[in-house]
């Protein structure tokens, strides 16, 4: 039941690395800035994250992360409700956390690797959710400070999509928690849950498709 997200297009901060020399280390280095973004995101200090994003994208990125984390929280709520009664198999089939695989520094588990600078731009490589090949974040120097440049892709459809997806996950989680989908149902016929989840996610998936279409370059 894949969401078929094209977040590499929608939030295109991961681009091929540019040639250049290794950046000097220091508290204000590109790598250190990304480490700070990861730390602030873990603490849900979204307004402070804006200080480390290029100005034209800062507010949007903060809004996006609020909605993304609400979605991930709803996903965890559903998984916890299912695992309370069914330990194996079904939780793996409903887990939607894989969508962070293509989100670069906004992934769930990020290991920062090397950084390179060339003039006013820099790139930082990273492993996201333990997957290879590494992804690349692009940094830009603004007023003497390195900031993350997530690239184009800001879309109100994307924000609404994650709101709708979180709502769908929470609705299904409530059905499991309150017994409307029973343990017997989960064990005897897990497809009932999967169909209900698929239906609950459809509004969000439709909005993701709109966001993806808006992010694609126009055809000549």
- What is the percent of the chain with per-residue pLDDT over 70, rounded to a whole number? 82
Residue 178 tokens read as 């309150």
8 Å CB contact between 157 and 10:
no
What would the DSSP string read from start to end of 138-200? EEEEETTEEEE---S---HHHHHHHHHHHHHHHHHHHHHHTTSS-HHHHHH-THHHHHHHHHH
Provide the number of structural domains found in the chain.
1
The conformation of residue 14, written as its DSSP 8-state character, comes to B
Q: Is 220 inside any structural domain?
A: no
108: left (phi over 0), alpha (psi -120 to 50) or beta: alpha
Query: pTM, whole model, 2 decimals?
Result: 0.80
Q: Is the model more confident about 92 or about 193? A: 193
Containing domain of residue 163, as a range? 7-215
In a domain, 2, yes or no: no
The span from the CA of 80 to the CA of 89, in Å, is: 13
In a domain, 41, yes or no: yes
Predicted confidence at residue 16, as pLDDT, reads: 42
Q: Is residue 1 part of a domain?
A: no
Question: Would 182 be classed as within a structural domain?
Answer: yes
**Per residue in 34-45, pLDDT tens?**
999 999 999 999
Q: What is the pLDDT of residues 153-195, one digit of tens each?
A: 678 888 999 999 999 999 999 999 998 888 787 878 888 888 9
Domain membership of residue 138 (yes or no) is yes
């Amino acid at each position: 039941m894949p969401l078929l997200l094209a977040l590499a297009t929608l939030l295109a901060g991961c681009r091929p690395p540019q040639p250049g020399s290794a950046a000097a280390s220091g508290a204000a280095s590109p790598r250190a800035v990304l480490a700070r973004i990861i730390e602030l995101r873990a603490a849900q200090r979204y307004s402070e994250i804006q200080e480390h994003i290029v100005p034209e994208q800062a507010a949007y990125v903060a809004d996006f992360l609020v909605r993304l984390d609400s979605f991930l929280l709803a996903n965890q709520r559903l998984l916890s409700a299912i695992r309370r009664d069914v330990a194996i198999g079904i939780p793996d089939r409903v887990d939607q956390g894989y969508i962070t695989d293509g989100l670069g520094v906004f992934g769930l588990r990020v290991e920062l690797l090397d950084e390179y600078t060339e003039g006013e731009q820099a790139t930082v490589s990273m492993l996201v959710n333990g997957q290879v090949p590494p992804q690349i974040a692009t940094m830009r120097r603004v007023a003497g400070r390195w900031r993350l440049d997530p690239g184009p892709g800001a879309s109100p459809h994307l924000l609404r999509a994650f709101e709708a997806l979180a709502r769908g996950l929470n609705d299904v989680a409530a059905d499991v928690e309150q017994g409307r989908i029973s343990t017997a149902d989960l064990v005897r016929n897990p497809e009932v849950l999967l169909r209900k989840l698929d239906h609950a996610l459809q509004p969000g998936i439709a909005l993701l498709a709109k966001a993806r279409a808006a992010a694609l370059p126009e055809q000549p």
